[in-house]
Structure 1
């Protein structure tokens, strides 16, 4: 059983998240009644349906796998939008003048591949690079509909098919078997759909290997990471985490020390406080941002993702893991989270197609579970890492090739940059977000 430390998000317990979000949903439902004219405020009651739709607050709930099924299991780092009008929908309103309905499962309501490629300078690379590379997605339990749901996503957005029959997609258990798979789980299936779609969005020509651990323990997930590497993946995405423990340094050597392999890990969704395996010195720890369109040459702007004191991108100074040689910030003597970042705010979330255990259709997701596979895709576009290299080091050598995120905070911390964005390096966003692929090459 993992133990919490002062540096972990234990005071932001995942077990309270669903209760808190349920209360948030009730508050928003009350607000919706006011907007419909059933409240007591004349000003609020005078709001038109169009105004209400454009300004309706986005609400979401933690994905079921964000609450561990059993003691000793880790949690996924994703949240799913349940209502309101997302940034993507507002963007569409501006483009065509048609006010969207609140988010539902009938049509995509989050950013798609072209949006993400545009935001991160990947349009050209996504069209010409990635062929022959394999991105491994490591998650727990089985998603029986993984390949079919991926096909829906890729077909809708005009991406080439990625199927088992065509040699692009492969699903295995943690031992490498294609037939001996773990039990199915609807919560982790949502996570799997998110991860597969984000890897596809940034590297549509890449092959995808889904490795399903038989449970969400570090031992089983770590075994799945090793299996992904043994099967030839040079890019391995992990969208889960938990409290740090004194065992983490042994996990480092057992599961994450793979020179020549880019291993990305989500930084967590519970605001300031270090998580593992994001704290591993051998991985690229990926924080989360709010991504919005802007009247700039880039066309986009970003800030630290924070919704509340307990819902925000993770960051933190590890209590156990040694500082890698390429990390030179002076306020944290050990490993500092994060290294880089990408979109994670559910209000500016990403579109995902999912059908197992839910109404089949389109959903909008957020959380650093979105940013980790996105960054894995960017590494894949940059090309196979050299033998013996540690790709987590690459962004530190190419900081000018990243979008520096300089605004926002994810909480209260002992040292400002641990939780507050600023020029150059900071905990919540690392050195920044992709500006093409140059920062992810050796």
Structure 2
């Protein structure tokens, strides 16, 4: 598919920039999907959080035709047991403030995004990842008990872990995505404590394995599916689109952690809600109590292969533009996560758009209307119930000419889409 055949760009300069960006990425990454999953890599080339030296990408350098997860682990925040203050626990009052780990917790995120404390009991949020996390359920129990959330276990029917074919055994080998899986589970829990959680583990970090896992999640009754991974779009990008098309189920995906440039699949598919990222900071004395700006790493870009959906109307991109909505993704303002596999030995702080995607899937679950999201069009017709993010940018190398594609501006912009949750009215 040649995107220049049937489109008349609104602004030729923008189109030339877009095509030059695509050519640069293809030259650098070769054809198709590039990147792979591996254990946490702390070499210079794997540093996360652009401009910061205290983060590492959980999934490092890659093989061709594979995808990578987008979790970014703070390397300066490690360890610590997950416990509540004994007195608070005994009194049934939830966690004692002094006992809480570093990083944002569920109460912080609910306060920042004005979310209700109940909802989603009839929803099942699936997360799709590559490889097995053998401690996933045990680690999730620590996270939830630390923050006073209700148990979510296999025994009580809240939690279920399966392979990409939907069976409990055999599970795949560990692919180094343990931190990613812990982040996904914790973010769904933070957004929607009453939602059920389904973890589907793909055999390999390929679009076919993970796409098959999405199909399995839907077949098993998932109402929302989060995908915190991706690969730079290439000429074969359309071959994976069918995996992520499930009307009636909200399919959500991270926009990526590369800043402005070539968009990532599956986030670029028109049937997917593409989730960008922000930096979220407490701000006493303001009406909201928080400030939010576009995160420097949040992925955004204009597709060279996928046509613009009828419901998307931004001026300077003739193709599908990423992202649609956003939530906190900056590792410097990231959530607390508990894990004991593949790089975590207890509590840590983890970010990346791998945090924002499962959180948004949980918000959709909390609202309980997944049928509204066969795509992201609902946000384009009604975005009044979102916080508009109007500052920050995601310029990590390629400029977008100062416009919305890489800058937080009033209304729609690439790094944060239409904005972040302001309650569940927009969901």
Short-chain TM bin: 0.7 to 0.9
Deviation at 1:245, TM superposition (A): 1.7
The yes-or-no answer on 1:234 pairing with 2:223 is yes
- Distance, in Å, in 1 between the alignment partners of 2:24 and 2:247 is 28
CA change 1:316–1:148 in 2 (3 A) is same
- Distance, in Å, in 1 between the alignment partners of 2:422 and 2:328 is 13
The answer to whether the Cα contact below 8 Å between 1:58 and 1:347 also exists between their aligned partners in 2 is no
CA change 1:225–1:10 in 2 (3 A) is farther
- Distance, in Å, in 2 between the alignment partners of 1:66 and 1:151 is 28
Deviation at 1:59, TM superposition (A): 1.3
- Distance, in Å, in 2 between the alignment partners of 1:403 and 1:285 is 17
Aligned partner of 2:56 among 61, 64, 82 = 61
Aligned to 1:437: 424
Deviation at 1:381, TM superposition (A): 1.1
The answer to whether the Cα contact below 8 Å between 1:5 and 1:243 also exists between their aligned partners in 2 is no
Aligned partner of 1:338 among 297, 310, 323 = 323
Aligned to 2:379: 395
1:83-122 map, 5 Å: 83=76, 108-122=101-115
The yes-or-no answer on 1:421 pairing with 2:376 is no
- Distance, in Å, in 1 between the alignment partners of 2:200 and 2:65 is 20
Aligned partner of 1:220 among 187, 209, 229 = 209
Deviant stretches of 4+, over 4 Å: 7-15, 21-25
- Distance, in Å, in 1 between the alignment partners of 2:47 and 2:177 is 24
Deviation at 1:14, TM superposition (A): 6.9
The answer to whether the Cα contact below 8 Å between 1:352 and 1:362 also exists between their aligned partners in 2 is yes
| Count of paired positions | 373
CA change 1:11–1:430 in 2 (3 A) is farther
Aligned to 1:5: 22
The DSSP-based 3-state class of the residue aligned with 1:250 is helix
Aligned to 2:8: none
The yes-or-no answer on 1:210 pairing with 2:199 is yes
The DSSP-based 3-state class of the residue aligned with 1:409 is coil
- TM-score normalised to the size of structure 2? 0.82
Structure 2, unmatched stretches of 5+, are 1-20, 79-98
Aligned partner of 2:68 among 59, 62, 75 = 75
Aligned partner of 1:267 among 255, 258, 266 = 255
Aligned to 1:172: 162
Structure 1, unmatched stretches of 5+, are 29-56, 86-105, 307-311
Deviation at 1:229, TM superposition (A): 0.6
Deviation at 1:230, TM superposition (A): 0.8
- Distance, in Å, in 2 between the alignment partners of 1:267 and 1:141 is 21
- Distance, in Å, in 2 between the alignment partners of 1:373 and 1:130 is 14
